[in-house]
């Protein structure tokens, strides 16, 4: 009975240029050990890239994916999944491409190995849980922001710039449009189009910004 030919795999090594959190030697050692254990033909590719937030501006990885698509290798292997990307969407896209183009993805730290049935299931579970955690973080961030005072929240959203006094002409224009029956969105669009700046100095108005101006004006009238 003929013995199956060993898989040709590409081991991708990403080295952070701003923070050596996982050195190349550690990644290479892990990949070489796994290749020896499983009898792979290992083709190592190294890239110096500061960020793994996305797949952009990473020519070595682009070349790896092109070779896999062309059938010059049968699997992509990394020591840790964050060597590929910290973006759940990007990782999911890589898995989709791998399935469509018939090559495998192996991430040693997570036990993800789409060259096996069990590994493919693990990959899907990993993506689902990573997306769930991303949404939980976003929800906690929104909840925390909602508890902040308006002025602090506005400064955070506006790069730390403080509120500036709203021009009297802008406040009057808001009142005029509202008195004419315009919706918050219509007022926001009109103010943006007319070049009025918001209390934080931005040029783009939103319905929530208009509402805050109206509420502040009503409060000032009540106090007066």
Instruction: Indicate if the pLDDT at residue 2 is higher than 80.
Output: no
Task: Express each pLDDT in 89-145 by its tens digit.
Answer: 788 888 889 989 999 999 898 888 888 877 777 777 766 666 666 666 667 766 666
Instruction: Indicate if the pLDDT at residue 216 is higher than 50.
Output: yes
Assigned fold of 8-137: Rossmann fold (3.40.50)
Sequence ranges of the domains in the chain: 8-137, 150-223
Q: For 5-14, 162-171, 174-183, which range has the lowest pLDDT when averaged over its residues?
A: 162-171
How many CB atoms lie under 10 A from the CB of residue 171?
Answer: 18
Q: Return d(Cα 106, Cα 74) in angstroms, integer.
A: 11
How many CB atoms lie under 10 A from the CB of residue 158?
Answer: 15
Give SS3 for 120. Answer: helix
Question: What value does the mean pLDDT of the chain take?
Answer: 79
């Amino acid at each position: 009975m003929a013995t199956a030919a060993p898989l040709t795999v590409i081991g991708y090594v990403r080295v952070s240029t701003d923070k050596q959190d996982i050195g190349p030697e550690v990644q290479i050692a892990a990949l070489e050990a796994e290749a020896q254990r499983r009898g792979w033909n290992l083709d190592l590719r190294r890239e110096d890239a500061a960020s793994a937030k996305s797949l952009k501006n990473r020519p070595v990885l682009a070349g790896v994916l092109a070779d896999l698509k062309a059938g010059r290798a049968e699997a992509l292997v990394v020591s840790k999944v964050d060597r590929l990307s910290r973006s759940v969407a990007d990782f999911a896209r890589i898995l989709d491409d791998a399935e469509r183009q018939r090559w495998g993805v192996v991430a040693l730290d997570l036990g993800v190995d789409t060259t096996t049935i069990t590994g493919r299931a693990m990959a899907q579970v990993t993506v689902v849980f990573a997306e769930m955690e991303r949404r939980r973080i976003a929800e906690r961030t929104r909840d925390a922001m909602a508890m902040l005072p308006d002025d602090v929240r506005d400064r955070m959203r506006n790069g730390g710039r403080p509120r500036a006094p709203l021009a009297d002409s802008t406040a009057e224009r808001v009142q005029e449009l509202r008195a004419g029956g315009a919706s918050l969105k219509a007022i926001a669009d009109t103010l943006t189009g007319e070049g009025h700046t918001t209390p934080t100095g931005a040029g783009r108005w939103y319905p929530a910004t208009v509402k805050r101006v109206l509420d502040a004006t009503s409060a000032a009238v009540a106090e007066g």
